[in-house]
Amino acid sequence: MSLWLSLNFSDICGKAAFMFEIIQVLLIIVAAIIFIFLFWAGIVSFKENEFRASSRFFILSFISPIPYLMISLFSFPYQFELELVLLAITIFLPLIFFLPISRNTAYQQTNPATRIDERDTMFSRNELKSGTEAFEEYYRNNPDKKAADDVFRSKVGLLKPGSSQYNPFQFASANASFETIEALRNKVNGPVNPDQVKVEPERITNYIRQWSKKLGALDCGISGLKDYHLYSVGGRAERRNKPVVNSHKYALAFTVEMDKTMMDSAPSGSIVMESGQQYLESGKIALQVASFIRNLGYEARANIDGNYEVVCPLVARDAGLGEIGRMGLLMTPKLGPRVRISVVTTDLPLLIDQPLYNYSMIDFCGKCKKCADACPSKAISFNEKEEIDGVKRWQINQESCFTLWCQLGTDCGRCISVCPYSHPDNLLHNLVRSGLKNSSLFRAVALRMDDYFYGRKPPSAPLPGWLDIKTKE
């Protein structure tokens, strides 16, 4: 019996020693994985010109593996127990952060109770000229807006010499884009081919979706055209004071990407260059798709910069392309607010996409407030959503925002550039986006991580070198 016990004890000790060695090897492997991941993240950040983030990733890549190496290479009391605890924590923490927990599957979007009057938007108010009948009529009907509008009119104005970000080359480039859009404004509608081509909704939907991406769209979504998608009354140029009447059944929304490098320099001239360029690019897609649909024998109208009948972010949200965030812009899952939108309304039979109902984005926006912190005009609210016109939402101070634009000469863009969702669409940031979608705990941690690596109020990046051009003396 004693011999059997002795052999059994030896066997147990041998297995324990073997297990001890396995755990030590696993800890060394984990240390290597942590080092490789963080060092790779540093390289990715360096390529993104995020030098603060890259330096911190590189430092952490050397520091973080140390506890794993120390605990596995040196002997001390309760070593095995501590190794097990460390290994268990390392395995289970990622599971806690990435498993689909704390989702709000009952989340529903809220819709405006009434249509928006385009005449109340800042671009419409900016078109009003003192002394004209339109000017007198608008402020007679809206006396509460006169004082705030006098302030933005006292500034230099968008794309004007003397504004704080004025650069003749950058502003001339932006103007070139907007002038091209202006030249296309009367192309939003046109004659419909009387010989209608019969289509299958599924096939034509897929055709347009794929073709629009070939034309340069980041994404394409389709919604039924809702009454609240439409402005109540037009406010720009020849559409001013005319009721918006549109009986189309469907609305296609297209997004295009705004270049991250150009956005990071906001609010310099690079942002208004990029805005103008992507308004043009999204507009070209809408114009081509609308023309294509009319050639098939169905009504279609493009909605492009300066000639919208619809509120594009609402259409895009209902078409499943994103949610409306704290800054009042469409937040897309891939690029956050770093997109521009165009829309085509039509009677062409199409398949409708479902809204995302992405509670995780709204929840993160509620926690983050980074755009509000970084907004130079303090136009973005720090508060929770408020009920405005029967809808619970965030409301920016559009007068403060536009007044700053008129001082800068550009459309600012700081809120877009600092948004954690605006990081590039690559593996590193998509891993974070996956965690944001799945776990409320991860969303809380990810915000702290973003602040640590990129800064709570990150400074504007230097202009890309090729943009730093001066006039000849």
- Does 4 have pLDDT greater than 50? no
Nearest in space to 361 (alpha carbons), one of 455, 264, 440, 263: 440
Q: What is the pLDDT of residues 105-114, one digit of tens each?
A: 567 788 888 9
Give 298's DSSP letter: -
Identify which has the larger pLDDT, 469 or 373.
373
- Both structure tokens of 82: 């501590």
**Strand (E) or helix (H) holding 346:** strand 339-346
SS3 labels along 26-39? HHHHHHHHHHHHHH
Q: What is the pLDDT of residues 140-162, one digit of tens each?
A: 999 999 999 999 999 999 999 99
Q: 67-81, 186-200, 329-343: lowest mean pLDDT where? A: 67-81
- Does 86 have pLDDT greater than 80? no
Q: Which residues contact 233 (CB under 8 A, 6 or more apart)?
A: 117, 118, 119, 241, 242, 243, 244
Q: What is the pLDDT of residues 180-214, one digit of tens each?
A: 999 999 999 999 999 999 999 999 999 999 999 99
Q: What is the pLDDT of residues 377-397, one digit of tens each?
A: 999 999 998 888 778 889 999
pLDDT at 473: 63
Nearest in space to 250 (alpha carbons), one of 199, 196, 283, 201: 201
What is the rounded CA–CA span in Å between residue 311 and residue 324? 12
Contact criterion met (CB below 8 Å) for 264 and 52: no
- Does 76 have pLDDT greater than 70? no
When pLDDT is cut at 50, 70 and 90, the band that residue 7 belongs to is very low
Q: Which residues contact 225 (CB under 8 A, 6 or more apart)?
A: 246, 248, 249, 250, 251, 310, 315, 345
Query: Which amino acid is located at 417 in the chain?
Result: S
Taking residue 279's Cβ as centre, other Cβ atoms within 10 Å add up to 22
- Does 19 have pLDDT greater than 70? no
pLDDT at 8: 52
Burial class (CB in 10 A: 0-12, 13-18, 19+), 288: middle
- Both structure tokens of 196: 């209608």
Q: What is the pLDDT of residues 241-253, one digit of tens each?
A: 999 999 999 999 9
Nearest in space to 233 (alpha carbons), one of 119, 398, 113: 119
User: What φ, ψ does residue 321 adopt, rounded to 5°?
Assistant: -95, -10
- Does 164 have pLDDT greater than 60? yes
Q: Which residues contact 150 (CB under 8 A, 6 or more apart)?
A: none
What is the rounded CA–CA span in Å between residue 434 and residue 309? 35
Contact criterion met (CB below 8 Å) for 225 and 344: no
Identify which has the larger pLDDT, 433 or 80.
433
When pLDDT is cut at 50, 70 and 90, the band that residue 102 belongs to is low
What is the rounded CA–CA span in Å between residue 204 and residue 201? 5
Q: What is the mean pLDDT of residues 312-330?
A: 97
When pLDDT is cut at 50, 70 and 90, the band that residue 127 belongs to is very high
What is the rounded CA–CA span in Å between residue 172 and residue 382? 36
Query: Which amino acid is located at 250 in the chain?
Result: Y
Q: 78-92, 107-121, 130-144: lowest mean pLDDT where? A: 78-92
Query: Which amino acid is located at 418 in the chain?
Result: V
Give 342's DSSP letter: E
CA distances from 133 to 75, 127, 140, 141, 241 (A): 88, 13, 10, 12, 12
Contact criterion met (CB below 8 Å) for 299 and 327: no
Q: What is the pLDDT of residues 401-415, one digit of tens each?
A: 999 999 999 999 999
Contact criterion met (CB below 8 Å) for 267 and 408: yes
When pLDDT is cut at 50, 70 and 90, the band that residue 103 belongs to is low
Contact criterion met (CB below 8 Å) for 252 and 292: no
Burial class (CB in 10 A: 0-12, 13-18, 19+), 254: buried
Q: What is the mean pLDDT of residues 428-451?
A: 91
- Does 9 have pLDDT greater than 50? no
Burial class (CB in 10 A: 0-12, 13-18, 19+), 233: middle
> How confident is the prediction for the chain on average, in pLDDT?
91
Burial class (CB in 10 A: 0-12, 13-18, 19+), 186: exposed
7-30 residues labelled b (16+ CB within 10 A) or e (exposed): eeeeeeeeeeeeeeeebbebbeeb
- Both structure tokens of 447: 């915000």
Query: Which amino acid is located at 303 in the chain?
Result: N
pLDDT at 136: 95
